């Protein structure tokens, strides 16, 4: 039987509504052979997912999703097969997450100045143990009826560059790549469409990304064609995943985008090369 992998899945350790255990149950239901636990700035979901999947024919790939914010674009970078127990890596992530807390305070303050009064405790409550982010804030805004839904929260206030948007900790794309490579992982550009500008890809290739996440729910067939071509022209691997956020997206997307397991093998080979350097 053909094997498939979903290489982009969140848990409640970032902005999904699902626990690692629920993620594993969903992946088994979808008959996936492998999933990558790719939380924003956190690796805390990996061990629990591995424990839940143990002996059940589902491979858990360690991963993380870092954000790079620049004047011209918001860039998400995935790291596959990272050594998530590496202390230096963990320390850096903790620093980045701590910055998210401060940033949330500032966003709440900006919203207050615009007449939207959100108790910050509620935002932290919604985030739970996860690294706190805009989807949690948007949830709190929707709860009190300040917006009709998450989408409106992003469109009117907290979307990238919006009036109440505050940046996360500054890291450059080169730093993101180095952070991943230093912990033995393979750096991959997540959903390139988000950047809104394909011209950015060239610089990221120079920084050392190994693949493009070509297959993603936000990519139309024409996008997929274009990114496949860019990957081919530049000797990059192609990856893909559902970017499943549980029920916050608003349905469980797991497995809706999946790739042949062969791609996992190719990523493993890349990881071996990176570790040998």
Name the site residues for Fe ion (rule: CB under 5 A). 15, 76, 190
Min dist. Cβ of residue 162 to ligand AMP (A): 9
Query: 3-class SS at 212?
Result: strand
The residue number whose beta carbon is nearest to ligand AMP equals 133
Q: Which helix (H) or strand (E) holds 179?
A: helix 173-182
Q: Cα separation of 122 and 128, whole Å?
A: 10
Torsion, Cα 14 265 218 250, to 10 degrees, reads -40
Min dist. Cβ of residue 222 to ligand AMP (A): 21
Q: Which of residues 60-79 bind ligand AMP (CB under 6 A)?
A: 67
Size of the site for ligand AMP (CB under 6 A): 11
The residue number whose beta carbon is nearest to Fe ion equals 76
Q: Which of residues 224-253 bind Zn ion (CB under 5 A)?
A: 243
Q: Segment contacting Zn ion (CB under 5 A): 64-72, 125-133, 136-144, 247-255?
A: 64-72
Contact (CB, 8 A) for 13 and 65: no
Q: Does 208 bind ligand AMP (CB under 6 A)?
A: no
Name the nearest CA neighbour of 193 among 166, 170, 215, 163. Answer: 215
Nearer to Fe ion (CB atom), residue 117 or residue 240: 240
Q: Does 260 bind ligand AMP (CB under 6 A)?
A: no
- Residue 131: which region, alpha, beta or left (left: phi > 0; alpha: psi -120 to 50)? beta
Min dist. Cβ of residue 271 to Fe ion (A): 21
Percent helix, strand, coil in the chain, to 5, is 45, 15, 40
User: Which x/- pattern, by CB under 6 A, does the window 118-157 give for ligand AMP?
Assistant: ---------------xxx--------------xx--x---
∠161-166-170 over CA atoms, to 5°?
A: 100
Contact residues for ligand AMP (CB under 6 A)?
15, 40, 67, 133-135, 150-151, 154, 159, 245
**Residues making contact with Zn ion (CB under 5 A):** 65, 243
């Amino acid at each position: 039987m053909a094997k498939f992998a979903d290489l982009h899945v969140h848990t409640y350790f970032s902005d999904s509504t699902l626990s690692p255990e629920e993620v594993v149950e969903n992946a088994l239901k979808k008959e996936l052979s492998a999933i990558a636990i790719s939380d924003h700035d956190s690796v805390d979901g990996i061990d629990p997912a591995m424990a839940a999947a143990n002996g059940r024919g589902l491979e858990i790939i360690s991963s993380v999703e870092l954000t790079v914010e620049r004047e011209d674009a918001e860039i998400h970078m995935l790291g596959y097969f990272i050594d998530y127990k590496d202390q230096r890596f963990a320390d850096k992530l903790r620093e980045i997450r701590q910055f998210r807390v401060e940033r949330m305070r500032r966003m709440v303050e900006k919203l207050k100045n615009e007449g939207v009064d959100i108790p910050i405790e509620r935002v932290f409550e919604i985030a739970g143990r996860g690294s706190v982010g805009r989807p949690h804030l948007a949830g709190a805004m929707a709860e009190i009826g300040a917006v009709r839904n998450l989408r409106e929260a992003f469109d009117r206030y907290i979307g990238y560059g919006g009036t109440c948007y505050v940046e996360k900790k500054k890291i450059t794309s080169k730093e993101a790549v180095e952070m991943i490579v230093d912990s033995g992982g393979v750096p991959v550009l997540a959903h390139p469409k988000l950047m809104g500008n394909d011209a950015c890809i060239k610089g990221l290739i120079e920084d050392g990304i190994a693949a493009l996440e070509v297959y993603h729910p936000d990519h139309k067939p024409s996008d997929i064609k274009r990114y496949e071509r860019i990957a081919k022209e530049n000797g990059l691997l192609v990856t893909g995943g559902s970017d499943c956020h549980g029920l916050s997206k608003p349905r469980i997307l797991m497995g809706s985008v999946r790739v042949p397991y062969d791609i996992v093998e190719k990523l493993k080979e890349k990881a071996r090369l990176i570790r040998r350097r």
